[in-house]
Amino acid sequence: MKKIDPSFSIIYFLSILLILPLSIAAMELDIESTATDKRIEVRFSLSDLPARDLYRNITEGEIAEIVYELQIFEERQGIFFFIGDRRVAKRRESYSLSFSSLSETYRLESAGRVMEFDDFSEMQGRLASVSLQITPTADSEPDYLRARVVLIHRRLIPPFIILEPLLGDNKVSSPWKREEIRGRGVSDR
């Protein structure tokens, strides 16, 4: 019987860990922002949502989650620029997706509000375009924003959250998108 070199096993294991995140397809996200006196409104337009996998999971009784994340930054000037830019506001909007087999409707729940849809494509359309408003701190002059969307195919409940690293294909995320903030009452640098 041939022995396997332990260093080969370690290298093989590490290469799998490095390749696994690259095998997950990313969603495509477009953002458009509008700044007013105190608020910034951001419209998320999502394409390439993995609808087939999402449909299969929620009709099999799983609860999926889609999270829209938004961060507003102010660029540091002077000698402190090397510490990085200052985050002046952050917002996270989460939607839970499920299927009710009793009423045969698709449920979309966010912040205590429940919306029911007779057709999966209606719910998918509602998730494809979402607007979020955010108010930066009063003493800031925001320069840019970053936004992304994360889809969690199977939302786990405690204590099963510790199993999440074992579900390699459970999350799909768009890359962070950056956009300069321009508008009335907001820094136009």
pLDDT value of residue 164 = 62
52 pLDDT more than 50:
yes
2 pLDDT more than 80:
no
23 pLDDT more than 50:
no
188 pLDDT more than 80:
no
Decide: 6 and 155 in contact? Cβ < 8 Å. Answer: no
Look up residue 174 and give its two tokens. Answer: 């768009």
List, for residues 131-167, the tens digit of each pLDDT value.
Answer: 998 888 777 778 889 999 988 877 656 676 666 666 6
pLDDT value of residue 67 = 92
Could you give the CA distance from residue 113 to residue 70 in angstroms, rounded to a whole number? 21
pLDDT value of residue 153 = 75
Q: For the chain, give the longest Cα–Cα distance.
A: 75
Rg (CA), the chain: 21
**Region of residue 104 (phi > 0: left; psi between -120 and 50: alpha; otherwise: beta):** left
pLDDT value of residue 97 = 92
List, for residues 28-51, the tens digit of each pLDDT value.
Answer: 888 888 888 788 889 998 887 788
Residue 33: exposed, middle, or buried by beta-carbon count in 10 A (0-12, 13-18, 19+)? buried
Structure pTM? Answer: 0.74
pLDDT value of residue 136 = 81
Look up residue 109 and give its two tokens. Answer: 């729940």
List, for residues 85-124, the tens digit of each pLDDT value.
Answer: 888 889 999 999 999 989 999 999 998 899 999 999 999 8
- The sheet that has 129-134: what strands, in order across it? 28-35, 40-47, 129-134
- Mean pLDDT in residue range 75-87: 79
183 pLDDT more than 80:
no
Segments making up each domain of the chain, as ranges: 27-180
pLDDT value of residue 21 = 42
Look up residue 154 and give its two tokens. Answer: 């199977």
pLDDT value of residue 162 = 67
Chain position carrying tokens 């907001």 = 186
Going from the C-alpha of 156 to that of each of 7, 121, 151, 171, the distances in angstroms are 35, 25, 13, 12
Decide: 46 and 127 in contact? Cβ < 8 Å. Answer: yes
pLDDT value of residue 18 = 42
